[in-house]
Amino acid sequence: MALERWRPFATIERWEPFRNVSDVQGEMNRLFDSFFGRPVSTAAGTRAWAPVFDMYETKDELVLNVELPGVREKDISLSITGDLLTVKGERAFNQELKDENYVHLERVYGKFERSIQLPMPVQADRVKATFRDGVLEVKLPKAEEVKPKDIKIDIL
């Protein structure tokens, strides 16, 4: 909800008390969903999850760190098409505890897919990915046309 500055001589507008109720309700739903870590439900009624990522840029490359806790390296696939990087995989449920009675279960298991729009052109044939301690690091070299170039200024 936005605060507005009081202006005593401003034009008078009709007060509509329920004008922004749907906006407020949507924001409250989003707040509670993020606070309680509720994953998005799919059409089939099963819970889905998408890994979170950080992206930063260096002089020569774009770097992504994707959090994939509990996912094995062999269960991850990475592809790039144009300016879209896609990470797919699966987090398997630990079947060793199937006879136990769970008291609380929050983590989501199963297949996931996350597509990330890249903010600049990259050299797709030179992408390197490493996986360590549940974090997938993807280094995408920038295309030559987006790298900064120094221009020498001649003194006359």
Provide the residue ranges of all domains of the chain, joining segments of one domain with +.
20-46, 50-146
Question: What are the average pLDDT values for consecutive 10-residue runs of the chain, which has 156 residues?
Answer: 65 65 70 58 57 92 94 92 91 68 76 90 92 94 79 80
Query: What integer best gives the mean pLDDT of the chain?
Result: 79
C-alpha span between 144 and 60 (Å, rounded): 9
Q: Cα separations (Å) of 47 from 9, 50, 77, 106?
A: 53, 10, 21, 11
We find that the CATH architecture of domain 50-146 is Sandwich (2.60)
Residues sharing a CB contact under 8 Å with residue 38, sequence separation 6 or more, in sequence order: 32
Residue-wise pLDDT tens digits, 22-48: 667 767 776 766 655 555 544 444 556
Exposure string for 103-133, b = 16+ CB within 10 A, e = fewer: eeeeebeeebebebebeeebebeebeeebee
DSSP 8-class letter at 70: T
pTM value is 0.62
In the chain the beta strands, taken as DSSP E runs, fall at: 53-57, 61-67, 76-81, 84-91, 110-117, 128-132, 135-141
